[in-house]
Amino acid sequence: MCGILFCCEDVQSIQENSSHEFQELFERLKDANTSRGPDAQDSVSTSVNGVRLTFFASELHLRGSAFVSQPHRDDAANVLCWNGEIFEGLNVLPEENDGARLFSLLQTAQTSEDARDILGSIEGPYAVVYYHHALQRLFLARDPLGRRSLLVHMPDPRNPRFLVTSVSVGAHPLYSLEELSTQSIFCIDIKRLGNDRMTRFSECLHRMPRQSAEKPLPFAEPRKVNRSIPGEVPLVEDLDHIPEHLSVAVDDLIAHLDRSVMLRVRDIPQHNSNKGKARVAILFSGGIDSTMLAYLAHRHVDPHEPIDLLNVAFENPRKLLVQAEGNIGALPRREKKAKLRDRKDYMSIDVTYTVPDRLTGLQELEELRELCPGRIWNFVEVNVPYEECQGARATVEALMFPGRTVMDLSLAVALYFAARGVGQVRDIADADPRPYTSTARVLLNGLGSDELLGGYGRHRTAFKAAGWQAIIDELQLEIDRIPTRNLGRDDRVISSHGKETRHPFLSLSVVFFLAQLPVQHKLDPRLPPGLGEKMLLRLAARKVGLVEASARKKRAMQFGSHSARMGPGEGDRKGDLLLGEY
């Protein structure tokens, strides 16, 4: 994980009275990006025809045996700021740095299309800013699924600079930030911008299609969903018996996921101060997605090395009051008033962290211990008191910006504390807990399985309304929406701790495999909950021995951890409300 900060400004057009204020903002953005890459930071600045280009990058060392600082630059004045991982498409040896390998390849580009084609040939999460000096063009891009954050501010009268940053400092009058679209590769003609001071910036900004018209690029964009309509589909009786028509698909899913996890946990550098400690952690709820990733990670992480299972639980006053008194909000008005008059003092209620995700997490911990004897699983109980959560709220809101909804906050605060990894562990089930802070810098996240395998209630609703065709349409929408949903926000929040999240389900190779499968191989909404949704994954989990996890129903993170609607009066707030509108 790395931080990228870039500024493009016409020196003559920047008024002196705004420079000091902007420099203060720029320094704050440097600090925010330094948190993403605490191992090293550097900057480089160059001027082209009166246009000043300032590059800043921070580095989190997660690839290669030798440390390589950023920004990458060469004698030809090319500059690369790289925040990403290359897992496929470019052969990167274990001792090599993938950013340095990509830079050497980009140096061979002779046209804008060459640079575009190089990016379309690699698979992995990335955000990139690359200046090609011979072409005098600047390239900006995020990977096709938007797994890394990159925010942009377009020049305006208040701040006539073009600004790019991995993370913000929250709302600020000197920028209007939005996520860089993943639909195109963006190219800025610096030469034209500098030669004609009257040219509007938008006229120098070009959007190149990700896919080449001359030759197909393997990782330029996600594959479309298989649109074949099923005929008569036999029902799956239970998870213990894999029907013959699903046998190959189950084996292939296990193989694709296993390879995706392997690519994401191997060759992580071992820092001398953390030898023998965990390098890999799972954002762990005990659900089928996170448990499957934990089991597969066990196959590829050194058996003598612990794996951390990060399980977060919140002290939620509203939930604790409901547990103590029942759901007052559901009572008739007269009874509700009487109850409110006699309501217990929240401070008198014993605080526990036995939230739903804690209970299922502990159950799956035992299942993993049975399946993977000899592995040390550090089940990290991340318990978050209400006051500590409220104290971190301003920080979390700044990190998730420009996300600003109630739902954004509920999810972001859960990820913030889980990724921090400060909690307690127990060596055996009934032992007293001891303080523990996770040393893992790579966090595996199960996000993506619901979108690809039909895990949401809306998929069942679509089937009831219009059959298999409606589900196919919905699954295509799910893939189309992945880049614009939560990945950038989650990246900003998690990486603030100098850690990196990796999404094995969102490997483009896994996405391609699942997209081409017939819909009836992935889910069957005719079957009951706990079987029909994500049916293929459930069969795969049962086959590898995850019996309890395979039948577990979906539960959203904010509800399983109790991070949603924290206060006593917040039970009726809708997730899409903007913060401050309730």
Residue 323's nearest CA partner among 570, 562, 572 is 562
Distance CA 531, CA 524 (A): 8
- What is the separation, in whole angstroms, between the first and last Cα of the chain? 35
What would the two tokens of residue 223 be?
A: 């594959």
Q: 87 is written with which tokens?
A: 């897992």
Q: Is residue 194 within a helix (H) or strand (E), and if so which, with residue range? A: helix 190-195
Of 40, 41, 51, 57, the C-alpha closest to 6 is 57
Token pair for 414: 């859960």
Lookup: tokens for 506: 């969102």
Task: Judge whether 56 and 46 are in contact, CB under 8 Å.
Answer: no
Residue 554: what are its φ and ψ, rounded to 5°?
-70, 140
**For the residues of 553-566, what is the DSSP string, one character each?**
PP--HHHHTT-SS-
Rounded alpha-carbon distances, angstroms, from residue 192 to 141, 189, 209, 282: 21, 6, 21, 48
Determine contact, residues 167/83, Cβ cutoff 8 Å.
no
CA distance 121 to 109: 13
Which residue type sits at 321? L
Tokens 């103590």 locate to 324
Question: Counting every residue, how long is the chain?
Answer: 582
Strand 280-283, strand 72-73: pairing? unpaired
The answer to whether 370 and 384 have CB atoms below 8 angstroms apart is no
Task: Just list the catalytic residues.
Answer: 2
Q: H or E segment at 165?
A: strand 162-165
- Torsion sign over Cα 428, 429, 435, 441: positive
> Rounded to whole angstroms, how far apart are CA atoms 384 and 312?
7
Nearest CA-CA partner of 289 in 423, 410, 456: 456
How would DSSP label each residue in 241-284?
S--HHHHHHHHHHHHHHHHHHHHHHTT----GGGTTS-SEEEE-
> How many Cα atoms within 13 Å fall on the side-chain side of residue 52?
12
**Helix or strand holding residue 465 (H, E):** helix 457-481
Q: What SS3 state is found at 459?
A: helix
Which tokens go with 27?
């320094």
Instruction: Give the span between the Cα atoms of 365 and 368, in whole angstroms.
Output: 5
Q: Distance between CA 364 and CA 455 in Å, rounded?
A: 20
List, in order, residues 6 or more apart from 43 with CB less than 8 Å away: 54, 55, 56, 57, 71
